[in-house]
Chains A and B, each alone.
Chain A
């Protein structure tokens, strides 16, 4: 059913209102409304023709990645002839680079096996091997080893230092400070760590035969895995380089492991599942084409080969989603989690696990590419002191000077005290905005330069920055308030069902509108960051490339003079604020049908405008059309630096 929202992008005609079903015609048609309300899956990234601002990607569950891991293990097993648990340790040691692993293994299997902690080094092994404890090139290690030598005579075990668990090949790896007190294996075992000597004590060791009780092993493995996120856990003995293979870990903390320590079994279960996750994370981190979902508690992975190469980040914005929604207990894997009539999927619970495959800057910073988004945020951080006052949530009414707090996403403010109506962004009277919204939305460079003629260049550049920052921060602020807006809207939807004959499905247009507003605010926000760095002259190319947009726009002659890359957003900006205002305004029962019509129309409109901005900007990146006024990583240097 989501195909109803697929745009055909081959003719560039975004203005055919009939492209979106169920929004324009008969509203009493419940089937149509079902399509409209029940479906929030606008993006449809994997279906049909991909839009220019979308990338191909695939979501993988933890078990899907585990399958990939198993394939690699199987490959090494068959090529090198080592068993699976060894193959796994070798792969982890080689950061999952199979080719290099095989090469190294063929070259010198012993040295690879020792380096990966699979086998012990020969006692006379060369000091250059990775088995660091035997190497002599570290004075700190020498210190440690030196002390260990001292330890052999320490602790009063004196004459009894002969260990019963001495490995024939490796006498010097025997623990010195604590060890079973008797050399007679038939004597009862004392764990050298906890000193437990119960006859029922279960003992375990790796090939090195450093033997400890199962409780200590379990506590140690759990601590390493849980607290240190270590997937290659070394033997507990001092300086021993053997790594615990997976079957050993399974034996100690796996599902069938039992424990005599209270609470240990629960700890084991947690550590065991964390260990599984660590392996997957390590595999994913070693593979450029994969990224682990950054949402807390989520274990999905996204595969996005087109963004694997860093150089691709100058031409695409790889916004991806792992397929899950929500956070914590409310997490769902299904794509259509928020459908249905229950109103589920709102706010945090329905939040899609969207993230940028290329950076950590923000989940979705389209349309601007990662290096520019990153540069902008850094600038905002660096300039935060100057900008702090702007970010503040309160402003003074320009009319009566009383303090006004912004508490919704809409920019149309009405002073409670004097009823003065003004624009939150520019503080100008709202009456002027009805016909000339764009004057608030653009930075008129000529006028600005004239006005600032006498002022210093740095002052001008600060003002220029603040102009964009102000607008950027305004959308950031509105987005933060969106959870609030969700809650308020949900309440309104409930009220509407009571005061009108509309069903739950039929009031979904409100939810849809709120979601669209949020999406558009994200786009607008980052458009300002992009505009700040765009070189002069860009508008010319754009203008020629995109004449058609101009023809389709409301025929304000002034608009022609505006930079196109700001004009489209400017138009979107106005539509978004209008929609925002409709959503936040009071609802009169008798006006509901009209409101529904208006909101639905506006939603469709902003959705299309948003598409245009995203599509056009993305195409510009692919065509290398965007030039910057500063040096941007991965791009050509600007010809002439203008602030």
Chain B
């Protein structure tokens, strides 16, 4: 599968380099097929006017069959945007990065989706469970199983962290 991933990422990179990124999005680095960085900025009137954030993409051999690991960079002086679906460690609760991922989505498509997620934000606030989540969060956000609540009210966003134990004993029957 690595061959699909490499071919696909080469093609996406070439397209970015020849045709440029969508407005407000800029490629920072893409030295290999494992880690790419973009800056992202919301154009026009929004809560985030004038703010620039950095998005990190991590790819494994399964891309694009399974989603890349996407998060905001929170090191080297960079911050994660304050948003009800963005945790302070940079992890993002967005369904297209999880159960609604489709292999036809591209890296820039993800950037645009997240840009529009920021643009539609009415009130700058952290997810209600931010502290609890950040304390226990795995390094790779893909290891978190976010549950995307239909109402998408932060208070109702539940998640579980998949542990290495896998199927820990569940007390579901009695």
Contact = CB atoms under 8 A, between A and B. Distances in A.
A192 interface: yes
Contacts of A215: 4
A141 interface: yes
B169 A360 contact: yes
A313 interface: yes
Contacts of A240: 102
A272 interface: no
Contacts of A343: none
Q: How would you classify the secondary structure of chain B's contact residues: helix, strand, loop or mixed?
A: loop
Interface in B93-127: 94-96, 100, 102-106, 108-109, 112-117, 120
B174 to A, nearest CB: 5
B105 A177 contact: yes
Contact of A216 (B103, B109, B173): B103
A549 B148 CA distance: 61
A370 B174 contact: yes
Nearest to B4: A194
Interface string B63-96: 0111000000000000000000100000000111
B150 A138 contact: yes
A237 B148 contact: no
A154 B112 contact: yes
B62 interface: yes
Given A143-B120, A146-B116, A150-B22, A177 B100 contact: no
Interface string A231-244: 00000111110000
A177 B101 CA distance: 13
A310 interface: yes
The residue among B106, B109, B148, B169 with the most chain A CB atoms within 10 A of its own CB is B109
B100 A154 contact: no
- B: interface residue count bin: 35 or more
A178 interface: yes
A155 B15 contact: yes
B92 to A, nearest CB: 11
B29 interface: no
Interface string B2-27: 01100110010001001100100000
Contacts of A552: none
B151 interface: yes
A236 B104 contact: yes
Nearest to B10: A195
Interface string A123-164: 000000000010001111111101110110011100000000
Contacts of A178: 104, 106
B64 A193 contact: yes
A71 interface: no
B28 interface: no
Contact of A195 (B7, B94, B105, B169): B7
Given A143-B113, A177-B109, A360-B171, A156 B104 contact: no
Interface stretch (A41-49, A219-227, A555-563, A580-588): A219-227
B104 to A, nearest CB: 4
B1 interface: yes
A368 B63 CA distance: 50
Given A151-B112, A156-B19, A236-B103, A223 B66 contact: yes
B152 interface: yes
Contacts of B104: 175-179, 192-193, 236-238
A335 B87 CA distance: 54
Contacts of B102: 175, 236-240
Nearest to A144: B96
Interface in B124-152: 148, 150-152
A358 interface: yes
B112 A140 contact: no
A354 interface: no
- A: interface residue count bin: 35 or more
Contacts of B18: 156
Contacts of A192: 104
A144 B96 CA distance: 7
A633 interface: yes
Contact of B19 (A137, A155, A195): A155
A347 interface: no
A192 B103 CA distance: 9
A359 interface: yes
Given A156-B19, A193-B8, A144 B109 contact: no
A371 interface: yes
Contacts of B116: 143, 146-147, 150
A633 to B, nearest CB: 7
Nearest to A264: B1
A160 to B, nearest CB: 13
A274 interface: no
B171 A137 contact: no
A195 B8 contact: yes
A410 B80 CA distance: 61
A239 B104 CA distance: 10
Contact of B148 (A140, A154, A156): A140
B170 interface: yes
Contact of B7 (A147, A150, A155, A194): A194
Contacts of A146: 116, 120
Nearest to B173: A359
The residue among B1, B96, B100 with the most chain A CB atoms within 10 A of its own CB is B1
A93 interface: no
B4 A147 contact: no
A464 interface: no
B98 to A, nearest CB: 10
B171 A374 contact: yes
Contact of B174 (A177, A237, A633): A633
A148 B117 CA distance: 12
12 contacts: A137-B150, A139-B151, A146-B116, A147-B96, A175-B104, A193-B103, A193-B104, A194-B8, A227-B66, A240-B102, A359-B171, A360-B170
Given A151-B109, A223-B65, A310-B174, 12 more contacts: A137-B150, A138-B152, A140-B94, A141-B95, A144-B95, A155-B19, A193-B8, A195-B11, A219-B1, A223-B66, A227-B66, A358-B174
Interface of B: 1, 3-4, 7-8, 11, 15, 18-19, 22, 62, 64-66, 85, 94-96, 100, 102-106, 108-109, 112-117, 120, 148, 150-152, 169-171, 173-174
- Cβ-closest 5 pairs across A and B: A147-B113, A238-B102, A156-B19, A175-B104, A140-B152
